[in-house]
Amino acid sequence: MLLALDTSTPLVSVAVYDDTAGHEGTVLASLTSDRPMKHGESVAPLVEQALAGAGVARGDLTGIVAGTGPGPFTGLRVGLVSARVFGLALGVPVRGVCSLDAVAAAVSSSESFVVVTDARRKELFHASYSSDGRRLTDPAVSRPADVLAGLPEDTLVVGPGVLVYPDAFARTGGPTTVDAAVLARLAATGATTEPEPIYLRRPDAVAPGPPKKVS
């Protein structure tokens, strides 16, 4: 029984997934927050609602799955810290899944495509995928105009980022969210990493350096 959560975008996604119910598994609950940029306030209530809706007690969980991004520093950290806290409290393993991979796994396409999510600062996080959802490039961060560098202009682009820059690409499609239920499904197949964040750049707020000597 897996609890999955993702905070790599402005919205929080939480799911409860029964990985013992046959080959495909079963999504018992899937919730998404309706308040953007409220990660800290949303994670715990959504987890409780998802568990209650699924009829699953915390003690029934056998693993925690967290989206590792890439994503903005603060939101992504909330999800990964929450996942580690849940795992520590319950004594169950915590695993990570690249959030872009979760979007790609929900795409139905007969051609290669690119997944984009909002990186703020007028940039996008992105990675390229084959038609079967296999990642072809490492996650990167670029301006919208540079996302398709080296690719055909009519390459299909999907993911939450297309909602932020709807006119940046010739062809766009869904899904346009990161679904924690897909994170859980990928984790159930063994497609996991260590639960370490993919930041790709430094946080907005950094500790000041040592004061300069005055001569």
| pLDDT tens per residue across span 180-193 | 999 999 999 999 99
Please check the confidence at residue 23 and state whether its pLDDT lies above 80: no
What's this model's pTM, rounded to 2 decimal places?
Answer: 0.90
Report how far residue 212's alpha carbon sits from residue 63's, in angstroms, rounded to the nearest whole number. 48
Please check the confidence at residue 205 and state whether its pLDDT lies above 80: no
- Whether 23 is covered by a domain: the verdict is yes
Q: Could you tell me the end-to-end alpha-carbon distance of the chain, in angstroms, rounded to an integer?
A: 63
Please check the confidence at residue 208 and state whether its pLDDT lies above 80: no
Return the CATH number at 19.
3.30.420.40
Q: How many CB atoms lie within 10 A of CB 211?
A: 6
- Whether 135 is covered by a domain: the verdict is yes
pLDDT at 202: 53
Structural domain range at position 116 = 101-173
Whether residue 166 is found in the same domain as residue 122: yes
Please check the confidence at residue 53 and state whether its pLDDT lies above 70: yes
Please check the confidence at residue 209 and state whether its pLDDT lies above 90: no
Whether residue 92 is found in the same domain as residue 41: yes
Q: Report which secondary-structure segment, H or E, holds 103.
A: helix 99-105
Residue-wise pLDDT tens digits, 115-167: 999 999 999 999 999 999 999 999 999 999 999 999 999 999 999 999 999 99
pLDDT at 213: 55
- One-letter amino acid of 136: L
pLDDT at 212: 54
pLDDT band at 35 (very low <50, low <70, confident <90, very high): confident
Please check the confidence at residue 20 and state whether its pLDDT lies above 90: no
Whether residue 21 is found in the same domain as residue 89: yes
